[in-house]
Amino acid sequence: MDSKLKVAIVGSTGYGGVELIRFLQHHPQVEIVSVISSSISGTPISEGFPHLTDIMVQDLDGVVVEEIAARADLVFTATPSGVSTELVPQLLEAGLKVVDLSGDFRLKDGALYEQWYKKPAAPASFLEQAVYGLAEVYGDRAADVPFISNPGCYPTATLLGLIPALKAGWIDHRSIIIDAKSGVSGAGRGASLTTHFAEINENFKPYKVNKHQHIPEIEQVLGDVAGEPVTVTFTTQLVPMTRGIMSTMYATMNGSYTDQDLVELYREYYKGRPFVRVRNAGIWPATKEVTGSNYCDIGFAADARTNRVTIISVIDNVVKGAAGQAIQNMNLMMGWEENLGLGLTPVYP
């Protein structure tokens, strides 16, 4: 009898879904039993995505919860916000485990979701049930739970960069400014005026400044860590590259800390976590150094002159910001090694 976990992917034709397939095809404990699309039916996945060869299940079927439940144990929902709100409760009620990649279950307060996402929130009981899957911080809550809400891409890079210093009381939570940049794949696969070639090539565009839907997610977690409400200034910018997020964070220090102090603090905090790499003092990370991998690389510049610290954090938005972190969360849910199926070195150059 096959003891592998049977997984299905909804939203399999999006960037997050396709990246899930790429990794899961090589996961030793997983069998992909269904890749599901709302728009394409009966087409082999390799027809639309020829880079995915030898996929075990090729049929794309409609989103029918009963059929998914008959075949799978766990579902990744790589679906747009609003879609997961409706779909995830049905999957959970059918007895499936779920890792949701959308923003629909990250905020505990439904009213806050409605304010920032401009969509109806999921029922409070499901918001409550969702475990926020920032593995390096809340990983101990993931074991055996049926439902994980995967963090947003910008929050992943930003929170991993800020939490150790905030938790240690080394930075003033009232002083945090975040300057974040993303490659275009962060906007998903659908064509749009903002992301088409002539608009973004050789361009560098701010968008949703102070209005981004990831602001309440970042503030929710920082508030949890600080033990009191935190607000941040958050600027998002689109960069003409395919993958990658760089979050550059500035905060006032509560003491005279050096780069080396920060390196030691962060290495201690992330001890035993395979995907956070804290750079030696003065070696700042670049997006290309994590491309295609589940790593988050972090570097520092503590400035004694201004008493502020600059923290630089990079991830691949499609991997650590989405599919890779979702698989990391599945591993934790199942009690497996955190890095199972994810041990890839970044692609370089």
Ligand X SMILES: NC(=O)C1=CN([C@@H]2O[C@H](COP(=O)(O)OP(=O)(O)OC[C@H]3O[C@@H](n4cnc5c(N)ncnc54)[C@H](OP(=O)(O)O)[C@@H]3O)[C@@H](O)[C@H]2O)C=CC1
Active site amino acids: 153
- Which two tokens mark 119? 């969509």
- Which two tokens mark 159? 């929170």
Exactly one of 72, 238, 262, 298 binds ligand X2W (CB under 6 A); which one? 238
182 part of the interface to ligand X2W, by CB under 6 A: yes
103 part of the interface to ligand X2W, by CB under 6 A: yes
| Residue 79 interacting entry, from ligand X, ligand X2W, none, C-beta within 5 to 8 Å by type | ligand X
- Which two tokens mark 323? 């599919």
102 part of the interface to ligand X2W, by CB under 6 A: yes
Exactly one of 7, 78, 148, 263 binds ligand X (CB under 6 A); which one? 78
* Residue 186 near residue 212 (C-beta atoms within 8 A): no
Q: Which is nearer to ligand X, 34 or 81 (CB)?
A: 81
* Residue 74 near residue 48 (C-beta atoms within 8 A): no
Site string for ligand X, 163-192 (x = CB under 6 A): ----------------------xx-xxx--
SS3 266: helix
- Which two tokens mark 1? 């009898």
Backbone angles phi, psi at 207, to 5 degrees: -150, 155
11 part of the interface to ligand X2W, by CB under 6 A: no
- Which two tokens mark 266? 């962060």
152 part of the interface to ligand X2W, by CB under 6 A: yes
* Residue 339 near residue 275 (C-beta atoms within 8 A): yes
H-helix or E-strand spanning residue 223: helix 215-226
Query: Residue 51: is it exposed, middle or buried by C-beta count within 10 angstroms (0-12/13-18/19+)?
Result: exposed
Please give the residues from 206 up to 225 whose contact with ligand X2W meets the rule CB under 6 A. 213
Q: What long-range pairs does 124-127 form, CB within 8 A, spacing at least 24?
A: 126/88, 126/89, 126/92
135 part of the interface to ligand X2W, by CB under 6 A: no
80 part of the interface to ligand X, by CB under 6 A: yes
Q: Which is nearer to ligand X, 84 or 248 (CB)?
A: 84
Work out how close the CB of 182 gets to ligand X2W at its nearest, in angstroms, rounded to a whole number: 4
Q: Which residues bind ligand X (CB under 6 A)?
A: 10-11, 13-17, 37-40, 63, 78-81, 83, 101-103, 152-153, 185-186, 188-190, 317-318, 321-322
